[in-house]
Structure 1
Amino acid sequence: MVYSILATLISFAVVILLTPKFIPFLQRLKMGQTIRELGPKSHYKKAGTPTMGGLVMMLGILVTCIIFFSKADGDLVFALFVTLIFGLIGFLDDYIKMVQKNRLNSEGGVLVPYLGMLPIQKLLLQFSAAGAVAVYAAFHPSIGTSIVVPFTDLNWDLGWLYIPFVIIAIVAVVNAANLTDGLDGLACGVTMIIVFFFLVFSLANGFTSMNIFSASVIGVCLGFLCYNAHPASIFMGDTGSMALGGAVVIISIFTRSELFILIAGGVYFVEALSVLLQVGYFKKTGGKRLFKMAPIHHHFELLGHHETKIVTCFWITTAVLVMISLLSLPIMFN
């Protein structure tokens, strides 16, 4: 418990201290957010807000893991590595967006609706990283191919299905976290609450490395929220959202609790599902929309709800889902 508290405070302090220095640095590099013309009009005023703040979050986790390296084991290093890898994929996407945007602006061009890596390029990188993680986990002596089943005492051995299951889980969670990052403080707050579940789970079941790692993620989210809450002074970008998604899913893998993301991370699931339903319905009906806009947080915006109200409701929903997740862990109450 002491290590968890210290890890939270250290990662929080790193982000709190470095972000104010990082914001003007990004502004000088013209790393400002590009707002889609098809998005909610209320977001136009956010254009130019520094993005790629996820770099500071990754640094906060890195510093904390280095400090506590002697108190943990190799699992902490691998969890950090996976988080940084997905953060790097997000960084590449953010960087390409910024380069393309600045080039178009300098040439007097019209900004296109989508900038950055092509979806196929991003997915190829994500699946490659996820495949390596899945194979590593399957042959890891303390992980193996079994997962914990919510609301039971069962450990379900997936056998050869474990590797494809983990690959899909990783890619799904990383992209769901990325889709959730659409309103000030939304992805940061939701992820922080989700990771709190894994922190409690890790503490209750003796996963020392994962409780330290979980605490470091909570700390950077707390620190970043001070600057990312509405009105945001900085955005995490794909750099931060993919890193957070990678952190959530790697913690679940090491604790063999992947299925609990469906409960605790229900907001992630709904955000991603809303996009899939919107695209499928649009294609099937020849242009009609199921929601006013997807992901679903934009649907609520276009219904007239204020951004801060939507974010708060999503945080509350996640907190309730986390409590349900804790109730689904009978091992904690034995």
Structure 2
Amino acid sequence: MENFKILEFLYQLKISPIYVNIVGAFISAFVITLVSIPKIIRISHKKGLMDAPNERSSHVFKVPTLGGVALFFGIVVSTSIFATELGSNYAFFLSAITILFFVGLMDDLLVVAPDKKLYAQIISITLIVFGSGIMINSLYGLLGINEIPYWIGVLLTYFVFIILINAYNLIDGIDGLASGIGIVISFAFIFIFYRIFDYSIGILAISVVAVLIGFLKYNLSKSNKIFMGDTGSMVIGFIITFMAIRFLYMAGLPNYKIESAPVILLFIFCIPVIDTLNVFIIRLLIKKHPLHPDKNHLHHQLLKLGLNHIQTSIILVTINIIFIAVGYFLRYLEINKLFLIFILLSTSFVVILRYITHYKNKLTLN
């Protein structure tokens, strides 16, 4: 009854409840993150819960890695209150990210074997696919493939989830990059889901933007630095992938029919996708195990040019924005033509970057 009175009052003021949810979700998620992180930093320093630098680290001092705790709670609280239209799907979604939160937290505190993290991801994906029923059921003509059989769709959904979650995790190597890319991707989904009137997922995307902006303040700080850790990268990676699968699912419904949706997602996730393919191809070419860590990521290439973390993150975030803009303006192209454009642009970007890095190294040696 109280809810009806509040809604009636808002309508009298000519304020849509949607705008109240948007503002409420953003403010609550942002404030929770800003208030939580300083306390997490203090506890981390006091208890020695820090990441010690090694030969692959981009930092030289011990840094707290539990920023993902604040991100998780900010998102959960804000969406629980303001994403009211998620309905029964929210129970499965919340269960899925809670599993990843605890496994990520264990990894940040104790180090968890990669296979155990993979099992946690599979369990979380299972909750979404079979609990919420959200999965990939068509490629909309990409490579000549339209509707796909149920079980192939299930396997493809698992594959896409695992690839994108871990691709997002792989870019979390320097200050500001993972959070910056997460903000850009989430803004793209805010635009998409409000255009197709899926306000609940739009609220979820707003909450992700809010917590990442709050986190960025400390991630870029010199005196109060914190990393999101596996807790943050797995949770955020899962959420933005969930939004991607939801978009693909919605794109096939009669009211929407967004036939270029699969390739639009490639443009939205361009930096994580390009970076993952780049390092895997390089490792295979030099006959290294594709999962063996190295310094061939895109951000490592830019750091070799003498750029600092912030400059590198700004460049890669800007590239991601440019790709999204290109995908948006060319969205009405036939899907395979749009896919070819993505391949050409991404290949050109990687080749140019490697050429510049190689040329700089050659000049340095001379």
TM category (shorter chain) comes to: 0.7 to 0.9
- Cα pair 1:145 1:159 within 8 Å, conserved: no
* Among candidates 190, 207, 223, match of residue 216 of structure 1: 207
Rate the CA distance shift 1:121–1:83 in 2: closer, same or farther, 3 A: closer
Task: Provide Cα deviations, 1:271-305, integer angstroms capped at 9, x if missing partner.
Answer: 21232123212326x9xx9x982222122212322
Rate the CA distance shift 1:328–1:166 in 2: closer, same or farther, 3 A: farther
Q: Does 1:264 align with 2:256?
A: no
- Indicate the percent of aligned positions where both proteins have the same amino acid: 24
The amino acid that maps onto 2:208 is V
Task: Provide Cα deviations, 1:66-88, integer angstroms capped at 9, x if missing partner.
Answer: 21254542234433333333233
* TM-aligned CA deviation for residue 144 of structure 1: 5.9
2:71 aligns to what? Answer: 57
1:203 aligns to what? Answer: 194
Please tell me whether Structure 1 or Structure 2 has the larger radius of gyration of its CA atoms: 2
2:15 aligns to what? Answer: none
Q: What 5-or-longer segments of structure 1 have no aligned partner?
A: 97-115
Q: Does 1:91 align with 2:105?
A: yes
Task: Provide Cα deviations, 1:4-47, integer angstroms capped at 9, x if missing partner.
Answer: 2331222111111221222101111211112222445xx22xx3
- Cα pair 2:28 2:78 within 8 Å, conserved: yes
* Among candidates 237, 252, 260, match of residue 245 of structure 1: 237
Instruction: Give the match's secondary structure for 2:248.
Output: coil
1:35 aligns to what? Answer: 53
Task: Give the TM-score of the pair, scaled to structure 1.
Answer: 0.80
The ranges of structure 1 where at least 4 consecutive aligned residues each deviate by more than 6 angstroms after the TM superposition are none
* Among candidates 99, 114, 117, match of residue 112 of structure 2: 117
Rate the CA distance shift 1:279–1:213 in 2: closer, same or farther, 3 A: same
2:88 aligns to what? Answer: 74
2:354 aligns to what? Answer: none
User: Which runs of structure 2 are paired with 1:273-292 in the superposition (5 Å)?
Assistant: 273-283=277-287
Rate the CA distance shift 1:271–1:316 in 2: closer, same or farther, 3 A: same
- Cα pair 1:185 1:311 within 8 Å, conserved: yes
Please tell me the root mean square deviation across aligned C-alpha atoms, in Å. Answer: 2.8
1:130 aligns to what? Answer: 125
- Cα pair 2:92 2:127 within 8 Å, conserved: no
Rate the CA distance shift 1:178–1:255 in 2: closer, same or farther, 3 A: same
Once residues 218 and 180 of structure 1 are traced to their aligned partners in structure 2, the CA distance between those partners, rounded to angstroms, is: 17
The amino acid that maps onto 1:13 is V
- Cα pair 1:61 1:80 within 8 Å, conserved: no
Rate the CA distance shift 1:266–1:252 in 2: closer, same or farther, 3 A: same
Task: Provide Cα deviations, 1:255-282, integer angstroms capped at 9, x if missing partner.
Answer: 3267343210100112212321232123
1:146 aligns to what? Answer: 137
Once residues 321 and 149 of structure 2 are traced to their aligned partners in structure 1, the CA distance between those partners, rounded to angstroms, is: 33
1:22 aligns to what? Answer: 40
Once residues 234 and 327 of structure 2 are traced to their aligned partners in structure 1, the CA distance between those partners, rounded to angstroms, is: 23
User: Which runs of structure 2 are paired with 1:295-306 in the superposition (5 Å)?
Assistant: 295-306=297-308
Task: Provide Cα deviations, 1:110-168, integer angstroms capped at 9, x if missing partner.
Answer: xxxxxx2232332233233324433335xx3xx465357499xx994322221011101
Once residues 100 and 141 of structure 2 are traced to their aligned partners in structure 1, the CA distance between those partners, rounded to angstroms, is: 27
The amino acid that maps onto 1:228 is N
Rate the CA distance shift 1:256–1:295 in 2: closer, same or farther, 3 A: same
Q: What 5-or-longer segments of structure 2 have no aligned partner?
A: 1-17, 250-260, 333-366
Once residues 325 and 242 of structure 1 are traced to their aligned partners in structure 2, the CA distance between those partners, rounded to angstroms, is: 26
* TM-aligned CA deviation for residue 234 of structure 1: 0.7
Rate the CA distance shift 1:193–1:22 in 2: closer, same or farther, 3 A: same
Once residues 234 and 17 of structure 1 are traced to their aligned partners in structure 2, the CA distance between those partners, rounded to angstroms, is: 14
Q: Does 1:189 align with 2:195?
A: no
Rate the CA distance shift 1:198–1:70 in 2: closer, same or farther, 3 A: closer
Once residues 7 and 148 of structure 1 are traced to their aligned partners in structure 2, the CA distance between those partners, rounded to angstroms, is: 33
2:359 aligns to what? Answer: none
2:321 aligns to what? Answer: 319
The amino acid that maps onto 2:234 is M
- Cα pair 1:193 1:318 within 8 Å, conserved: yes
Task: Give the TM-score of the pair, scaled to structure 2.
Answer: 0.73
Once residues 222 and 78 of structure 1 are traced to their aligned partners in structure 2, the CA distance between those partners, rounded to angstroms, is: 26
Once residues 120 and 28 of structure 1 are traced to their aligned partners in structure 2, the CA distance between those partners, rounded to angstroms, is: 31
Once residues 72 and 121 of structure 1 are traced to their aligned partners in structure 2, the CA distance between those partners, rounded to angstroms, is: 29
Once the two structures are overlaid, the 10-residue window that deviates more, 298-307 or 239-248, is 298-307
* TM-aligned CA deviation for residue 173 of structure 1: 0.9
- Cα pair 2:24 2:82 within 8 Å, conserved: no
* TM-aligned CA deviation for residue 229 of structure 1: 1.9
